[in-house]
């Protein structure tokens, strides 16, 4: 049994590795998901083919849009890979400049505009970006060869054009206890067995965005680990259709509306997806193991991942653009778009939305190179961005509901509209401005309902609250970096109170204010 053992007959899904590569378009992507015989439970039953399930399909369409954007607009949706020498989907690219990180954010905003929901690929993107530098630094400390394996894995993913899901959050049991202290050791994913071929893992990851729509999953620890948690310090990649994996689909508010007609769904085409992923002695070959037991690097991985991921939340500003547009449209349909308080509310929504974008994109601009050559976004600004995201979409949603009026929650159904008798009554009495079709008014109201109370409120609101860490997690990171003593010395100096003068900003960029004054791109 050896971590460094040469690769020996690893399980490799025929479907994911051979039959379907490379994937370039949304249509090819959807075809690639068929026939994988995944064990997916939804509504208490095994789903025969997720691609054809009406509740699941809108989430697949949202991922497909990431391929189509790259095909339509390669500058935005793809990047030149140093590993393959070709353009690859930007979600599979490791950022080697601040510009790369900025372009990720711009792509995320655009996809938010196009889908109005979560397009699910950012967790995998942020996982490969953080693993690039962490595997490099683990190797420097331990003499392991994780980085080389990791680069080989990323190159394979890029060649095939695969979707990677990032599986970090464990189910966690008693939040007051470390993994090894839990009554049930499986409440955090851990290694149960090591063989010459690889490792076997058991446990469950909760809230896994787009996992069923992915080709591969990267499993990572979710918190700082001690020596007694060594078996929980596992990072590895396995195909979504590997034996021993069960998926339990997460219900989203109003999800069954996707099984009904068109209008009541609000956004018929696109939705997000979360599921619980259960690993029952699932196998990871050594070639796909990128950490095994180096527990002291778990916190570095979590911090770097969350740094990337917290500024990935500019995705919400693309969704916010749609909601602002919906609110302006309903005001127009109601005949009040030019009224002063309506204009002011649209200005406020825009101000809040751009506040999120401003901090996210600033975090990418204020990036710095890691030892491996990958660029890491600015952690303070990433946390400020994500903290805004836990609040501002709720206010934007409140203002959208204000402008929509009560009808967004009392609107009769699409069946009534289509009914031979009551349909005429609906069209007559639910008319707004005379030029506007009643059906269009209903459609825009349903979209606002979908985004603030319905299926896509999962992505716009609660995901904004908890994804990449609940609000307190950002406050802790902000408090660690706020340099309050330095700021007190600045104030005391100006007030004429005897004190040490504040330090000149250092060029190493270790503290936030050092990074503020460093040259763009983290270089001197």
Q: Clarify whether 209 is annotated catalytic.
A: yes
Residue 172 engages ligand FAD in binding (rule: CB under 6 A): yes
Q: Which residues of 446-458 are buried (b: 16+ CB within 10 A; e: fewer)?
A: bbbbbbbbbbbbb
Q: Which is nearer to ligand FAD, 146 or 188 (CB)?
A: 188
Catalytic residue (one of 16, 93, 115, 118) = 118
Determine which residue in the list 469, 474, 515, 522 makes contact with ligand FAD, applying CB under 6 A: 469
Partner in contact with 175, chosen from ligand FAD, ligand SF4, none, beta carbon below 5 to 8 Å by kind = ligand FAD
d(CA 322, CA 204): 34
Residue 428 engages ligand FAD in binding (rule: CB under 6 A): no
Q: Are 58 and 115 in contact (CB under 8 A)?
A: no
**Could you give the string, one character per residue 191-220, with x where binding to ligand SF4 holds by CB under 6 A and - elsewhere?**
------------------x-----------
Q: Clarify whether 354 is annotated catalytic.
A: no
Q: Which is nearer to ligand SF4, 135 or 208 (CB)?
A: 208
Peptide bond before 22: cis, by omega within 30 degrees of 0?
Answer: yes
Q: How far is CA 460 from CA 164, 357, 385, 419, 463, in A?
A: 22, 15, 15, 33, 6
Q: Which is nearer to ligand SF4, 168 or 201 (CB)?
A: 168
Determine which residue in the list 167, 191, 328, 377 makes contact with ligand FAD, applying CB under 6 A: 167
Catalytic residue (one of 117, 209, 306, 329) = 209
Q: Are 42 and 57 in contact (CB under 8 A)?
A: no
Q: Are 183 and 140 in contact (CB under 8 A)?
A: no
Determine which residue in the list 72, 351, 466, 475 makes contact with ligand FAD, applying CB under 6 A: 466
Partner in contact with 472, chosen from ligand SF4, ligand FAD, none, beta carbon below 5 to 8 Å by kind = ligand FAD
Read off φ and ψ for residue 94, nearest 5 degrees: -90, 125
Q: Clarify whether 93 is annotated catalytic.
A: no
Determine which residue in the list 58, 165, 459, 469 makes contact with ligand SF4, applying CB under 6 A: 459
Q: Clarify whether 385 is annotated catalytic.
A: no
Residue 207 engages ligand FAD in binding (rule: CB under 6 A): yes
d(CA 329, CA 121): 30
Catalytic residue (one of 313, 333, 365, 375) = 313
Read off φ and ψ for residue 191, nearest 5 degrees: -80, 130
Q: How far is CA 298 from CA 227, 282, 289, 303, 469, in A?
A: 11, 21, 14, 9, 16
Residue 458 engages ligand FAD in binding (rule: CB under 6 A): yes
In 3D, which of 108, 209, 96, 222 has the Cα closest to residue 163?
Answer: 209
Residue 126: CB minimum distance to ligand SF4, A: 8
Token pair 């805004």 is at which residue? 388
Partner in contact with 312, chosen from ligand FAD, ligand SF4, none, beta carbon below 5 to 8 Å by kind = ligand SF4
Residue 463 engages ligand FAD in binding (rule: CB under 6 A): yes
**Could you give the string, one character per residue 340-379, with x where binding to ligand FAD holds by CB under 6 A and - elsewhere?**
----------------------------------------
Determine which residue in the list 33, 64, 70, 123 makes contact with ligand FAD, applying CB under 6 A: 123
In 3D, which of 290, 295, 304, 142 has the Cα closest to residue 224?
Answer: 295
Measured from the Cβ of residue 189, the count of other Cβ atoms closer than 10 Å reads 27
Determine which residue in the list 470, 476, 487, 508 makes contact with ligand FAD, applying CB under 6 A: 470
Read off φ and ψ for residue 40, nearest 5 degrees: -115, 125
Partner in contact with 144, chosen from ligand FAD, ligand SF4, none, beta carbon below 5 to 8 Å by kind = none
Q: Which stretch binds ligand FAD (CB under 6 A): 286-294, 324-332, 412-420, 469-477?
A: 469-477
Tokens of 276: 């619980």
Exposure of 114 in the CB half-sphere (CA atoms within 13 A): 20
* Torsion on CA atoms 390, 396, 399, 400, rounded to nearest 10: -120
Catalytic residue (one of 96, 115, 122, 232) = 122
Q: Clarify whether 307 is annotated catalytic.
A: no
Binding site residues, ligand FAD, CB under 6 A: 123, 166-169, 172, 175-176, 207-209, 274, 458, 462-463, 466-470, 472
Residues serving a catalytic function are 118, 122, 209, 274, 309, 313, 315, 463
């Amino acid at each position: 049994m050896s971590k460094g053992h040469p690769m020996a007959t690893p399980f490799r899904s025929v479907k994911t590795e051979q039959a379907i590569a490379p994937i370039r378009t949304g249509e090819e992507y959807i075809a690639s998901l068929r026939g994988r015989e995944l064990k997916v439970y939804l509504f208490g039953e095994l789903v025969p083919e997720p691609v054809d399930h009406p509740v699941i399909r809108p989430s697949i369409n949202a991922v497909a849009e990431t391929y189509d954007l790259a095909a339509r607009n390669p500058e935005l949706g793809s990047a030149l890979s140093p590993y393959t020498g070709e353009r690859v989907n930007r979600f599979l690219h490791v950022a080697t400049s601040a510009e790369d990180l900025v372009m990720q954010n711009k792509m995320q905003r655009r996809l938010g505009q196009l889908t109005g929901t979560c397009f699910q690929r950012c967790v995998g993107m942020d996982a490969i970006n953080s693993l690039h530098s962490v595997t490099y630094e683990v190797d420097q400390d331990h003499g392991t060869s994780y980085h080389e394996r990791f680069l080989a894995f990323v190159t394979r993913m890029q060649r095939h054009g695969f979707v990677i899901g990032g599986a970090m959050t464990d189910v966690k049991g008693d939040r007051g206890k470390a993994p090894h202290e839990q009554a049930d050791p499986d409440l955090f994913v851990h290694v149960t067995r090591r063989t010459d071929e690889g490792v076997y893992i058991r446990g469950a990851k909760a809230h896994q965005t787009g996992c069923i729509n992915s080709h591969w999953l990267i499993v990572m620890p979710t918190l700082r680990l001690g020596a007694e948690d060594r078996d929980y310090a596992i990072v590895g990649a396995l195909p979504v259709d590997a034996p021993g994996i069960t998926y339990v689909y997460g219900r989203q508010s109003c999800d069954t509306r996707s099984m009904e007609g068109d209008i009541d769904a609000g956004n018929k085409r696109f939705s997000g997806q979360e599921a619980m992923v259960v690993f029952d002695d699932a196998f990871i070959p050594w070639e796909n193991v990128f950490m095994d037991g180096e527990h002291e690097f778990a916190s570095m991985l979590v911090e770097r991942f969350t740094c990337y991921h917290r500024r990935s939340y500019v995705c919400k500003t693309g969704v916010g653009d749609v909601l602002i547009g919906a609110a302006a449209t309903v005001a127009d349909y109601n005949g009040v778009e030019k009224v002063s308080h309506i204009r002011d509310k649209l200005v406020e929504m825009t101000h809040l939305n751009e506040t999120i974008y401003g901090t996210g994109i600033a975090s990418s601009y204020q990036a710095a190179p890691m030892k491996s050559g990958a660029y890491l976004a600015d952690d303070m600004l990433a946390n400020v961005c994500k903290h805004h995201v836990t609040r501002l979409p709720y206010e934007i949603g409140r203002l959208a509901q204000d402008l929509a009026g009560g009808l967004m929650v009392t609107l009769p159904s699409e069946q009534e509209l289509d009914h031979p008798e009551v349909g005429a009554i609906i069209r007559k009495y639910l008319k707004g401005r005379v030029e506007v079709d009643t059906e269009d008014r209903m459609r825009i109201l349903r979209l606002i309902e979908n985004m603030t109370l319905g299926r896509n409120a999962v992505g716009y609101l609660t995901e904004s609250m908890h994804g990449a860490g609940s609000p307190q997690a950002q406050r802790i990171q902000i408090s660690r970096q706020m340099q309050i003593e330095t700021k007190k010395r600045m104030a005391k100096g100006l007030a004429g109170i005897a004190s040490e003068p504040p330090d000149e900003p250092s060029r190493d960029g270790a503290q936030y204010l050092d990074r503020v004054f460093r040259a763009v791109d983290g270089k001197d």
